[in-house]
Structure 1
Amino acid sequence: MDSNGYVHLLAGFALLISTPCLAQDSLVTYKSLAPGIALELAQSALANCQQRGYQVAIAVVDRFGVTQVMLRDRYAGAHTPATASSKAWTAATFRSSTSNLFTISQPGMMQAGIRNLPGVVVIGGGLVVEAGGSLVGAIGVSGAPGGDADEACARAGVESIQGKLDF
C-alpha cells in the first residue's frame, strides 16, 4: 500500500472513531430538587394550608419517590403523614397528579387496577414538580377537608418555587 492509501485508511479510522456511538450511554444524568428548595416547597404549601385554616401534613419526594421532606402541623391527624407521603410517591412514580389518576382509574375503566397497587393513593393532593419539562420531584398534602383543598395547597407550594426551577 502506498502512502496515499495509508492516508485514506487513517482518515477512515479517524472518521469511525469520531462518529457518535449509537449504543446507549453507560450513565444517566438527571436533575433533582435541592434539599433547600424541597423544604421551601413544603413550607410554602404548609403556610398556604394554615392560611386557609387547615391542619395538614406535607411530603416532598424526589423524582424516584424517595422522601426528602416531611412536615406535619401540630394538630394534623395521625394518618396525614403517611397519606401525604403516599400521594407524593404516587404522583412521582406515575408522573401524574393524583386527581388525574383518580379520574382515569374509576371502577370499570381500563386503569382501575392501579387503585389496588401497594402504596398507591389516588385522592387529590399529589402533584408532580417539573423543571424544564423534566420531572424533579412531587408533593403530597393530606389533612384538608377534601382532595381538592389538599391539591390547592400543593399547587400554591409548587407555584412559590417554580421561578427557581425554570431555566
Structure 2
Amino acid sequence: MNTPIRATLALALIGAGALAQAQTPGSGAVLSERNVSLALANQIAAATVAACSAGGYNVTATVVDRAGHVRAMQRADNAGPHTLEASRLKAYTSASARNTTLAMMEASQKNPAAANLKDIPGYLLLGGGVPVRAGNEVIGAVGVGGAPGGHLDEQCAMAALEQVKAALQ
C-alpha cells in the first residue's frame, strides 16, 4: 500500500474512533445536573432554624449544593459558635455520601469496614446532615448543629424539607 493511501486509511480509522468515543455516554459529553438554587437554599435554612426554634433549640443550619459548597447558612440567636462549622461539615458529609449523617454514624459504629469513614477529611459523623433530593437525585444537603442530640438536628432538617417538598419535584 502506498503512503498516501496509508495516511488516508489511518486518518479514517482515527476519525471513526473519535466519532465512536464522542457518541459514548460519559466520554467528554457535557453534563446537565440539577442543583439547589440560592432561593431554595435560603428557604431550607430558614425553615430548619424555625423548626428547631419551635422546639426550643438554638441552631445553625447550612445548606450546600450537590458538590458540597455552601449556598446558605442561618444561625439562630444564641446558637453556639461551634454550630457554624458543625452544621457545614454535616451538610458536606451528607451531600458527599448522599446519605444522612445519622445513618453513616450508626453504620460506622456497627460495621468495622465503615469505621474509617470518620477519617475522611471534612467528614463529621454526627446526626443532623440530610440530603436534599429532587426525586431520586441528590441536589444538595442540609446540616444542622446545636440541638441537644443529632437525632433532634435531623428532625429539624426533615421538617424543613417537608415544608419545601413542592419545590423539590
Which range moves more in the overlay, 25-34 or 101-110? 101-110
What is aligned with 2:119?
116
CA positional deviation for 1:132: 2.0
CA positional deviation for 1:22: 2.6
What is aligned with 1:155?
158
Give, in whole Å, the separation in 2 of the partners of 1:21 and 1:147.
46
Instruction: Provide TM-score, normalisation by structure 2.
Output: 0.83
What is aligned with 1:134?
137
Tell me whether 1:105 sits opposite 2:108 in the alignment. yes
Q: 1:22 is aligned with what amino acid?
A: T
Q: 2:91 is aligned with what amino acid?
A: A
Q: 1:96 is aligned with what amino acid?
A: N
Task: Note the alpha carbon deviations across 1:99-136, whole angstroms, 9 max, x for none.
Answer: 11001111761010011122111111000011021111
Equivalent residue in structure 1 for 2:58, among 55, 58, 72: 55
**4+ residue stretches of structure 1 with deviation over 4 A?**
none
CA positional deviation for 1:142: 0.3
Greater share of helix: 2
What is the number of equivalent residue pairs in this alignment?
148
Give, in whole Å, the separation in 2 of the partners of 1:78 and 1:112.
28
What runs of 5+ residues in structure 1 fail to find an aligned partner?
1-16
What runs of 5+ residues in structure 2 fail to find an aligned partner?
1-18
Give, in whole Å, the separation in 1 of the partners of 2:163 and 2:125.
24
Instruction: Provide TM-score, normalisation by structure 1.
Output: 0.84
Tell me whether 1:74 sits opposite 2:77 in the alignment. yes
What is aligned with 2:8?
none
Tell me whether 1:89 sits opposite 2:92 in the alignment. yes
What is aligned with 2:24?
22
